[in-house]
Chains A and B, each alone.
Chain A
Amino acid sequence: MIRVVLTRFAWTLVILLGVSFVAFMLMRALPGDFAIAAAGSQSVSPEVLDAIRRDLGLDRPLLEQYFLWLGHALTGDLGRSFVTKQPVLSELPARFVVTFQLTLIAAIIAMTMGIATGLASARMRGRTDWFVRIYNGLILAVPNFVVATLIVLLAGLYFPQLSIFNYTPFLSDPIANLGSLLLPAFSLALAVSVTISENTRAAVLEISSQDFVMVARAKGLLPRTVLRNYLVRNALTPIITVTGLQVASLLGGSILVETIFAIPGMGQYLFDSINSRDYPVIQAIVVLAASVVILVNMLVDIAYARVDARVKA
């Protein structure tokens, strides 16, 4: 058991190192850099740009820059934002909490909607099945940002009292906070819920034809008992898997949704930082997001073992 945990931990470190390295190199591969972005449309002399770069250490060889960053990161110092000159760690936690809330609510909405429609589709078949599948197809075909934009537009047109762009922090008013996150979370959840729905449907259909379901019916068990203990409990493993995999796409989607709905979360922060080439911030967010995805995958593995006794450690 301890061996398993240690191996996993070692792997996690290797993955995070890889992610941070790739992110570092990709950022520098983008055209332009912080100095140019900061100068904006003003015409600044090359000497000034070089001075800014020297000041931030951007003139050194790439590998040296990376290992400098890594050395600091390992001691818990993620550097300062080029833009605000504040430590990255002074801003990031608050941003992270907002995104955490948003993705958590989105995950709950996606699972509820996905499992419910998937179940209905598989159990009732016929017209319900048709309807769910056409709906799923449509949502999958339309990009996330179109849906989010539509929701913003429609809500703005028909429900102007829903102040969608007024993000309220959790601590100042939890109810208003929830209210301001509901629509963004919904648009974030839509695509994911469809994936969960399709997978739930397939899993339940597959399990319906298993012998043990016939045995359960031959026992005279009530349909709801068969559904809960025989169908859903067996379908849970694939459902947990897709949901776990979708956490990464929820985080990715939050960049878009936070930008569209003006929510001061990590996604919006990342978007702004990429625009201004604020390397330390980007680097920190990427590593944090990767850690979250890895952590969720571990939780999924633990959940497996709880749902299905055949899976151990």
Chain B
Amino acid sequence: MSDPTLILRVRNLTARIATRKEEIHAVRGISFDIAAGEAVGFVGESGCGKSVTARAIMRLAPEGTSIALGGSVDFMGQDLLQLDEKAMRDLRGRRIAMVFQDPMTSLNPVMTIGSQIDDIVRRHTELRGRAIRQRTVELLNLVGIPNPERRADNHPHQFSGGMRQRVLIAIAISCDPDLLIADEPTTALDVTVQAQILRLLMRLREERGMSLMLITHDFGVVAGMVERVNVMYRGEIVESGSVERVFAEPAHEYTRALLHAVPRLDTAGRVL
């Protein structure tokens, strides 16, 4: 890679989803960079291809669908689209981790919280035996779960939505990834909890120097969180730049429409 500070360099990425009826061209040749330690926002309306982009980087297709990917995803000098599945598995969760939208359905209901963190720690680290659980408890503590030793033995149904999202963040950061992809991590949560989760993500990113790819359909979420933002529309990036610039003088018509559609965070409080 030419620029050593770049961690992710995506060029001309395309994703076609083949369903039984049709072929959906969900991502139509997008290019973007993420630098080491940088937080980049991806904003766009529902269905514009944000999640498909995120999963394309992780090479994860939803069960029962096949997705044809094109272009290149250069992650620290390796083109992820060329890796075999085994190499990709070694990388998932360890170098690139992901937090999903709905914490209520993202945890396995029949496993304890602790064992769902244990398994990724066991998979990607040298820790064994009691050391694994120690690490799990540390992680739960880090994301702000009180009484982590005891709570590790709880099942997901004993946790609130916000707490579950904290657990999922603990899972994501468990192996110190270089890149964290957060796909609408707060969409399913209450407004007050949203702010807590966003603060947690920011804190962890700063402490660990991870890069963050923050996906949202809400400009308000992106505002205080990221340096740069990419605006997506119908599978393409229609505008990108620093948050200040895009907010102050949106170049693309669609961005302007988006900005108008979303109440700004600072005025939202007053409306309530």
Contacts and interface: CB of A to CB of B under 8 A. Distances in A.
A221 B119 contact: yes
Given A225-B119, A309-B155, A218 B60 contact: yes
A220 B119 contact: no
B232 to A, nearest CB: 21
Contacts of A216: 108
A208 B65 CA distance: 12
Interface string A266-279: 00000000000000
Nearest to A125: B64
B98 interface: yes
Interface string A98-138: 00000000000000000000000000000000000000000
Interface string A218-234: 11111001000110011
Given A215-B100, A219-B119, A309-B155, A229 B108 contact: yes
Given A214-B100, A218-B97, A220-B120, A307 B110 contact: yes
B228 interface: no
Interface in A210-267: 210-222, 225, 229-230, 233-234, 236
A91 interface: no
Interface in A170-222: 205, 208-222
A308 interface: yes
B63 A208 contact: yes
Contact of B108 (A209, A212, A220): A212
Name the residue among A208, A209, A219 with the largest chain B CB count within 10 angstroms. Answer: A219
A233 B119 CA distance: 15
Nearest to B86: A222
Contacts of A215: 98, 100, 106-107, 168, 171
A209 B107 contact: no
A218 B89 CA distance: 8
Nearest to B65: A209
Interface in B88-122: 89-94, 97-98, 100, 102, 105-112, 119-120
Interface in A292-313: 307-310
A41 to B, nearest CB: 62
Interface residues of A, number: 26
Contacts of A205: 64
Nearest to B120: A219
Contacts of B110: 233-234, 236, 307-309
A308 B171 contact: no
A218 B58 CA distance: 7
A168 to B, nearest CB: 43
Interface of A is mostly: helix
A225 B108 contact: no
Contacts of A233: 108, 110-111
B97 to A, nearest CB: 7
Contacts of B109: 212, 234, 308, 310
B92 A220 contact: yes
Interface in B133-157: 155, 157
B89 A222 contact: yes
Given A218-B92, A220-B92, A309-B155, A230 B108 contact: yes
B93 A218 contact: yes
A62 B209 CA distance: 86
B157 A309 contact: yes
Contacts of B171: 215, 219
A221 B123 contact: yes
B124 interface: yes
Interface in B60-80: 60, 62-64
Contacts of B58: 218
Contact of A219 (B62, B92, B102): B92
Nearest to B154: A309
A302 to B, nearest CB: 16
Contacts of A236: 110
Contacts of A214: 60, 62-63, 100, 106
Contact of B123 (A210, A225, A230, A307): A225
Contact of B155 (A211, A229, A310): A310
16 contacts: A209-B63, A211-B102, A214-B106, A216-B108, A217-B60, A218-B97, A218-B100, A219-B97, A219-B120, A219-B171, A220-B93, A221-B120, A225-B119, A307-B110, A308-B110, A310-B109
Given A212-B107, A230-B111, 7 more contacts: A209-B64, A210-B105, A218-B60, A219-B97, A220-B123, A307-B110, A310-B155
- A-B residue pairs, 6 tightest by C-beta: A220-B92, A220-B93, A219-B93, A211-B105, A208-B63, A309-B155
